Structure 1
Amino acid sequence: FAVNLILDNSETKTAPIVIEHSPTYRNLFGATERVVDRYGYWRTDFTRIRSGSILKALGGFLVINALDLLTEPGVWHPLKRTLLSEQLEIGSFDPFYMMAGSGLKPEPIPIKLKVVLIGERRLYDMMLSYEEDFKKIFKIKAEFDHVMPFSNRAVRDYVSFVRKVTDSENLPPFELSGLEEVLAYGCRLAGRKDRLSTRFTNISDLIREASLCASEKNHKVVTGVDVRCAVRHATERVNLIEDKIQEMYEKELYLVSVKGKAVGQINGLSVYDTGEHSFGRPTRITVRTSVGRAGVINIEREAELSGPIHNKGVLVLSGYLRGKFARNKPLVMSASICFEQSYSGVDGDSASSTEVYAILSALSNAPIDQGIAVTGSVNQKGEIQPIGGVNQKIEGFFDVCKIKGLTGKQGVIIPRQNVPELLLKPEVVEAVAKNRFHIYPIATIEEGIEILTGKPAGKELPKGGFTKGSVFDLVDKALDKFAKQIKESGDGDGEAAARKARALAKRRARKR
């Protein structure tokens, strides 16, 4: 007789924690191994019974990657039955054996353990929707944020993590300036100065590459220069599209002015995301106004290149204009808005304030400083709202200004709420510190139009109208002139009728 000890936890003093990296059927449930005897037959006996991760985690915790588990054939349903029945059957089924029967069927083993699945939220939501027993098995859901508050404890944890990586991989130590740059990189990943990223895989990669940069320069310790070098190298490997676009600005294939002034023309900012890399770039936005009743015409929408959020932004800015200039009279005008040289679609409302400024400029004939780009959404009250990608947008415009020549008067208008998110690259910070580039945080449309035109926005007077000579006064007078011309001609619906006719023609073309 012999004894087959498939599990021995006699020396275990705490609950076992088993992490299963390859959740195959054999690795989870165990198996009954077989051998070929000298006659060519498959043979097995009880001494060839092997335990799996479920049995090894008995009385403790079994940790599995949810995506790996669900994509492994023939594993989910046996695991579900095992956890619901609290009975483990070893070697009862293996989808990869052509001859699954082993001739042995060990008695089910009573089990008590906690299974922890790690995965994305959308995977959890999917399982909750399509697997009725999922909530019965996994009763507790814990969400983990990808950022953490910037605190003394978080800084200590970051420093400890850096040391752990360098010690375990025999990398050179980090000096203070190097650690500061790692923390700055963590803030940049988190998107705010008061947060640190918990994407430690990215941090580990940065530590390794910074160590390589230090070794190439024969540095005994990793400095801040080495970390910045690593960040630059990592960016250069994935920013080919950004380089190509900047080359097009340099060759003036993309038409953008960063000097001088122009009426009804402004530089908006957008963010391109390629998956591994995101960057900002300026886009020329133009507005043409005329007598008519069509209101604000979104050319991108007419060309079916506008997304729903951008369409909403245009409707919101139309509401702002009506509330500001048409409370006692109809808003009589036609204003067409266009994102020039945009052929792949536009979405988002971060340019809605930019579009308002361009409309105000076109109506008032007040030229806009082309050296100042704008980002920020607006509500119907004229308040500027925060947007995403503020760092990429500022840096993108700075790069174009650098290509075309910095004048010392260029800059970017941003929402005031985005100031805590500013984590700009050192080159931009240095330019701002030396007054060669400027950042203007604002809270209202009035603040922005004054910066762009150099004219007072204007205050509403008790008897109606606005401060004489202000931008709003000029806009109000232009709208009065449009209304008078329509009244005299008795025709202002031609443009609106044409738009309806075009829309009807499009619908008929689709039906065909």
Structure 2
Amino acid sequence: MHEESWRTMFPDYSQYQTTLDHYSNLEPATVGTLQPRLSDAVRRFSALNLQPRILRITAPDNTLYRDYIIELIKKYQSQSNNNTSSSQTSENEHPIIIAGDDITAEKLFGAVYPALESNSLAKPSVKHGLLHQANNGYLILSITALLSNPSIWPRLKSVLMDGMLDWEAANKKVLCPLPAAEKVNVKLVIIGDRHLMAELDQAEPDLAAGFAMYGEFEQDLLLNESNLEDYLRYIKAIITHHKLPDLADTDAVTAMLCAGARYAEDQTRLPLCLLWHLNLLSEASIETDGKVLTATNIKASLRAKEYRESYLPERAIADIHHGQVLIASEGKEVGQVNGLTVVEMPGHPTAYGEPARISCVVHFGDGDISDVERKVELGGNIHAKGMMIMQAFVATALDLDQALPYSASIVFEQSYSEVDGDSASLAELCALMSALSSQPINQQIAVTGAVDQFGRVQAVGGINEKIEGFYKVCVHRGLTGNQGVILPKTNLSNLCLNDEVIEAIKAKQFHIWAIENVDEAIPLLTDKPFRSENDEDETILSLIEERIDYFHHGDLSNEIGLLNRLRLRISNWFVQN
């Protein structure tokens, strides 16, 4: 086990200082920078003359990303034109790109309207659709628009395959002569998020089988010396394109990087989301009065965002402060531990951390460990999996030659909604070990982490929110200097805590312990080792073994007699009722 220094609680970009200092001298990045896979997909799609005629791009379905894709198509279509012969038609020198959001069959394919005049020689009027407008070019459609009008797809697929568009009457109840089918040469680009793309794949398996090419706007970047400069140029391109104030200095750039690491939940990664960057920079520009953006401006905008979204998190913490939700932050309790959860409330823009009291009681039984959340259908499948893995580890650690003579019941106290995820399995294991050994747990420490069948502690999500949620409870009641959080060592790279928590850690008023296995967690919570190679040492496992041995060989006549009398009363009650 190892208590972490406050310096590990946030990203350290000192190794990139030289690159950061040259930010002001950098030119804005060109479109496609930091998106090599997407750029390659668009480049190849632009060069194709036959099949496939469809490019699927997984990206957020909004105008910002659509415009980015359009600029990327223009870039590579221009390069493709430069490689063609001089006999290429002039239409292809400037690619035709038509985008459609809310589409109907008539908007997409056009329609034929009957003549208004009574003269039988009058010709019907023809209204061209988006496919006609995009002839010899590109048609960009939202995946949402396609799924909202599924009847459009078979006809659209036929047009893309055959290159011929048959006319249909706008009013099928009125007969009118139809023009001959027209030849159209269109490349279709579909943009949408991954879940909606999956729905389209289910409806049209040919897409995944090679009928369409695939591209993806990557949402984060693994930071290193070779790509940091490109990332800074990417930020500058967003600032330039949207006419926002530029970053003032190295401190402002560093503040931007830290905000990105927090958003990406990884000290080694940075987000590439266009919308996130634009929102942060736009709000920070409010603080500048038209001047350059400073680190203070960026931090102020982040605090303002947190304040706007703080009503529900503060209400949850207030319930704990007022005693409506019982969370202990001092003292010791048997079979009770402070777990850490992340709450995702429908309609709320962000998840927030909240401590949860996990309790365990044991009684005479056949060794069954009951997951109350699962039994009442408030536990999700992943939570159930975590419980089963935890139980497998307990059975292996105890190494019994017969069934455990105790049964246990584990529950999230005062939880009234579904619990899912395996991040509480370490806390549940600690509560079970405490209850079986009758050894109390230090309530000043909260626990998060998933365990495997070998007792190794694995990374969990929402680590920053979890730590800050428990810190808020502790600081309201008064920091004792002994409070803190146990977390998986593999989560250290995800830490990007707010300034208040970092200052408390720096002052030794709050602590973070990073662990790799169960053997490191139990001593921190119970002041006793989990197990030892020396048989004479008192450990949690030895206390449990003594209790089991006492059950099998000790004088339990009074306890068993009391148990039998209780069973008799219960059976008589059922007979009478």
Residue in 2 aligned with 1:92? Answer: 168
Name the aligned partner's letter for residue 178 of structure 1.
A
1: CA distance between counterparts of 2:333 and 2:482? 16
The structure 2 residue matched to 1:387, chosen from 460, 473, 476, is 460
1:482 aligns with 2:546: no
Displacement of 1:491 in angstroms is 6.3
Q: TM (normalized to structure 2)?
A: 0.74
Instruction: Summarize the alignment of residues 136-155 of structure 1 with structure 2, pairs less than 5 Å apart.
Output: 138-152=211-225, 154-155=227-228
Residue in 2 aligned with 1:189? Answer: 263
1: CA distance between counterparts of 2:202 and 2:353? 38
- 1:205 is paired with a residue of what secondary structure? helix
Displacement of 1:154 in angstroms is 4.9
Name the aligned partner's letter for residue 211 of structure 1.
S
The structure 2 residue matched to 1:243, chosen from 299, 310, 314, is 314
Residue in 1 aligned with 2:412? Answer: 339
2: CA distance between counterparts of 1:308 and 1:27? 45
Residue in 2 aligned with 1:220? Answer: 291
Displacement of 1:35 in angstroms is 9.1
Residue in 2 aligned with 1:53? Answer: 130
| Contact residue 464 and residue 496 of structure 2 kept, 8 A | yes
Q: Kindly tell me: are residues 223 and 482 of structure 1, through their superposed partners in 2, closer, same or farther at Cα, counting changes over 3 Å?
A: farther
Displacement of 1:293 in angstroms is 2.6
Residue in 2 aligned with 1:232? Answer: 303
- 1:285 is paired with a residue of what secondary structure? strand
- 2:270 is paired with a residue of what secondary structure? strand
Q: Kindly tell me: are residues 158 and 304 of structure 1, through their superposed partners in 2, closer, same or farther at Cα, counting changes over 3 Å?
A: same
Displacement of 1:19 in angstroms is 3.0
The structure 1 residue matched to 2:540, chosen from 464, 471, 479, is 471
| Contact residue 34 and residue 42 of structure 1 kept, 8 A | no
Residue in 2 aligned with 1:107? Answer: 180
RMSD: 3.5
Name the aligned partner's letter for residue 183 of structure 1.
L
Residue in 2 aligned with 1:510? Answer: none
| Contact residue 175 and residue 221 of structure 1 kept, 8 A | yes
- 1:381 is paired with a residue of what secondary structure? coil
Residue in 2 aligned with 1:64? Answer: 141
1:354 aligns with 2:397: no
1:128 aligns with 2:201: yes
- 1:468 is paired with a residue of what secondary structure? coil
Instruction: Summarize the alignment of residues 289-308 of structure 1 with structure 2, pairs less than 5 Å apart.
Output: 289-308=362-381
- 1:206 is paired with a residue of what secondary structure? helix
Displacement of 1:76 in angstroms is 2.7
Displacement of 1:289 in angstroms is 2.7
- 2:288 is paired with a residue of what secondary structure? helix
Residue in 2 aligned with 1:13? Answer: 93
Could you give the per-residue CA deviations for residues 395-418 of structure 1, whole angstroms, max 9, x where no partner exists?
111111112211222111111111
Q: Kindly tell me: are residues 12 and 85 of structure 1, through their superposed partners in 2, closer, same or farther at Cα, counting changes over 3 Å?
A: closer
| Contact residue 371 and residue 411 of structure 1 kept, 8 A | yes
Q: TM (normalized to structure 1)?
A: 0.82
Name the aligned partner's letter for residue 455 of structure 2.
G
1:256 aligns with 2:327: yes
Unaligned runs of 5+ in 1: 1-8, 506-512
Displacement of 1:166 in angstroms is 3.5
Displacement of 1:131 in angstroms is 3.5
Higher relative contact order (CA 8 A, sep 6+): 2
Residue in 1 aligned with 2:491? Answer: 418
- 2:285 is paired with a residue of what secondary structure? helix
Identity %: 32
Q: Kindly tell me: are residues 278 and 326 of structure 1, through their superposed partners in 2, closer, same or farther at Cα, counting changes over 3 Å?
A: same
Displacement of 1:153 in angstroms is 6.0
Residue in 2 aligned with 1:509? Answer: none
Displacement of 1:42 in angstroms is 12
Q: Kindly tell me: are residues 110 and 98 of structure 1, through their superposed partners in 2, closer, same or farther at Cα, counting changes over 3 Å?
A: closer
Could you give the per-residue CA deviations for residues 184-203 of structure 1, whole angstroms, max 9, x where no partner exists?
22222222122222321122
Residue in 2 aligned with 1:508? Answer: none
| Contact residue 268 and residue 283 of structure 1 kept, 8 A | yes
Q: Kindly tell me: are residues 206 and 43 of structure 1, through their superposed partners in 2, closer, same or farther at Cα, counting changes over 3 Å?
A: farther
Displacement of 1:209 in angstroms is 0.8
The structure 1 residue matched to 2:343, chosen from 262, 272, 283, is 272
